Amino acid sequence: MLPSHNRYRYSGIDTRPQYTWPGGKRLALYVALNVEHFPFGVAGGIDLDRETKPWSQRSWLWREYGNRVGGWRLARLFDDLGMNVGVIANAANYQHCPELIARYRDRGDEMIGHGISNGTERPIDMAEATERKMVEDVTALMTAADGMRPAGWLSPYLTPSLVTTDLLIENDYDYVLDWGTCDEQPFWVKGTGGTILSVPYPIELNDQPAIVGRRCTGEEYAGMLVDQFDEMLRQSEDAPLVFGISLHTFIVGQPFRIVQLRRAFKHMLGYRDRIWVTVPREIARYYRTLPMEVQLHAE
C-alpha cells in the first residue's frame, strides 16, 4: 500500500446518501475572492507572463493593482449583481489596504483566513511552532478587525504543511478549503484534536491557473464558467453539489476581463430559483445541520 494521509476515507460520489441545500436546492454557488499582498523586494507570487524571478517588482505591482483598482471594481460588480462573496485575504492586507478590506466587510462578505502574505510565507516551509504562531496571529488580527473569528481557512498559495489541518482544529476553525480541490461536496477531515469540515475549492476554474497558467482569454474563461455551471446544474439532479469560483482581484479585476465575468455571472444568476447563492461559511453551517447519516465522515 502507498503512504496515505489517513485523514479521510475514499468515497465515490455516486455511492453517497442524498440531501438538499436550503429551499430544496441542489446546487450551491459561491465566489472566493483572493486579496493578496507580499513584502516589497522579496520573492513571492506567480508573475503575469513569464517565469517568476527571485524578485519581481512587476509581480508585486500586479497585486497592488488588485488592491488599488481591481478589488474596488469587483466590489461594485458584486453590488450590482446582489451577491455576497468569501474574501480570502492575506492578513497583511488589513494593514496595507484597510479601506479595501472594510469595503468588503461593510458589504457583509465573509472574511477567510489566508496567512500573513502570499508566496513568501508558505506553511509547507515552516517549522510547526512557526506555523502555529502564524495561525494564532492571523486569527487574532482578523477577530479584532472584523469583530468576529474567521470560520474558514485557505493556506497561502495552497501550500499547507502536514500539520496545518491539526493547527486549524486546535484554533477552532469550522472549515478548511485546503482539501476541497478533490470533491464537489463537503466532507470531514480528521486531525489530532478532532475533525474539521472540508468545503470544495476549485483548481481547474481558479482564474490564476486558467488565465495565467493556461493562457485563457477573458472570453474563454467566462465560457468555461458558464459550461461548468450548466453541467453542474444538470449533474446536481443526481447529487447535491458545490460550485466554487476562485478569483483574484488583480486578474479578473482588469476591465477587459470584468466585462466577460459580468456576462458569466448574469447567466448563472438567471437561475437563482434553482441555486443557492451563498458563501463558504454558510455551506459549512448548513452541512453541520444535516442528519449524521448523510454526512461524509472521516471514518
**Is 287 a residue whose pLDDT tops 80?**
yes
Q: Dihedral sign, CA of 180, 205, 275, 20? A: negative
Residue 49: the pLDDT is 64
Work out how many domains the chain is built from and give that number. 1
Q: Give the model confidence (pLDDT) of 204-238 as tens digits.
A: 999 998 998 889 999 999 999 999 999 999 999 99
Tell me if 241 is assigned to some domain. Answer: yes
Tell me if 1 is assigned to some domain. Answer: no
**Is 245 a residue whose pLDDT tops 80?**
yes
Q: What is the DSSP string of the chain?
A: ------SS----GGGSPP--BGGGBSEEEEEEEEE----TTS--S--SSSPPPSS-HHHHHHHHHIIIIIHHHHHHHHHHHT---EEEE-THHHHH-HHHHHHHHHTTPEEEE--SSSSSS-GGGS-HHHHHHHHHHHHHHHHHHHSS---EE--GGG---TTHHHHHHHTT-SEESTTGGG-SS-EEEEETTEEEEE----STT-HIIIIIIS---HHHHHHHHHHHHHHHHHHTTTS-EEEEEEEETTTTTSHHHHHHHHHHHHHHHTTTTTEEE--HHHHHHHHHHS-GGGS----
Tell me if 267 is assigned to some domain. Answer: yes
Tell me if 69 is assigned to some domain. Answer: yes
Tell me if 47 is assigned to some domain. Answer: no
Domain region containing 205: 24-42+53-294
Shortest CA distance to 115 belongs to which of 145, 141, 86? Answer: 141
Tell me if 167 is assigned to some domain. Answer: yes
The whole-number average pLDDT for the span 279-284 is: 98
CATH code assigned at 181: 3.20.20.370
The whole-number average pLDDT for the span 50-69 is: 85
Quick count: other Cβ atoms within 10 Å of Cβ 6? 9
Tell me if 272 is assigned to some domain. Answer: yes
* Cut 0.85: pTM above it: yes
Residue 299: the pLDDT is 74
Q: Give the model confidence (pLDDT) of 126-185 as tens digits.
A: 999 999 999 999 999 999 999 999 999 999 988 999 999 999 999 999 999 999 999 999
Tell me if 153 is assigned to some domain. Answer: yes
